[in-house]
Structure 1
Amino acid sequence: MKKPVLLLVVLILGSAPIGTAVSANAIERACNQSNRQAASRQLCGCIGLVADMTLSGTDQRQAARFFSDPQRAQDIRMSDRASDEAFWTRYRSFGETAEAMCG
């Protein structure tokens, strides 16, 4: 159940431009800019709010970088580095919270 939600978030946000500036609504902007059929303004707004509640600016910047590169997301998820594992735990929590609040 957790993997489909995370995959949905990555797919919705997957077309974020490289170098997207992070502000209070970076994930919302990336979602709105995607051409995903499931991405509505309401859903993207909700996901953006959850990101602001659960991810730091640094985490949002890191996530924005790999939304355009799914392999990077996979590399971080599979990494043995403590910092990557900690990030992935926070990112997974973001996905679960987004599903609960927005889904």
Structure 2
Amino acid sequence: MDKRILGAVCAGGLMMLAGVAQAGVIERACRASDRAAATRQMCSCIQSVANKHLSRSEQRKASKFFADPHMAQEVRQSDKRSDEVLWKRYKAFGRQAAQTCR
């Protein structure tokens, strides 16, 4: 194979890997969900809103809600102060994402 073609293929593969590596936990969870609306553009937008409204640790916890909606219900109903804070911030994030990412 021509070295130029091989170089271009390798560079393209590295650029694709870099794009995946840059995706945040919310974006990856969104893309992995079975929702029809979970397009690359939509999930990227949701991640952008999450970056403004949720800390990294909150994003990690909230990303699990995509695969396990019951976990969100448990956080919502929890008596723990930390879960109450997370839930309020998550709701605000959800409202902003709905407005921004339509």
Specify if TM > 0.5.
Answer: yes
Which structure is higher in RCO with an 8 Å CA cutoff and minimum separation 6? 1
The aligned residue for residue 96 of structure 2 is 97
Q: Which amino acid aligns with 2:65?
A: F
The aligned residue for residue 67 of structure 1 is 66
* Displacement after TM superposition at 1:35 (Å): 2.5
* Displacement after TM superposition at 1:67 (Å): 2.8
**Structure 1 residues without counterparts, runs of 5 or longer:** 1-22
Larger radius of gyration: 2
**Identity within the alignment, %:** 51
Q: Aligned to 1:42, what secondary structure does the other structure show?
A: helix
Q: Distance in 1 between matches of 2:25 and 2:54?
A: 11
| Counterpart contact for 1:54–1:94, Cα < 8 Å | yes
| Counterpart contact for 2:30–2:66, Cα < 8 Å | no
Q: Which amino acid aligns with 2:81?
A: A
Q: Distance in 2 between matches of 1:69 and 1:39?
A: 16
The aligned residue for residue 19 of structure 2 is none
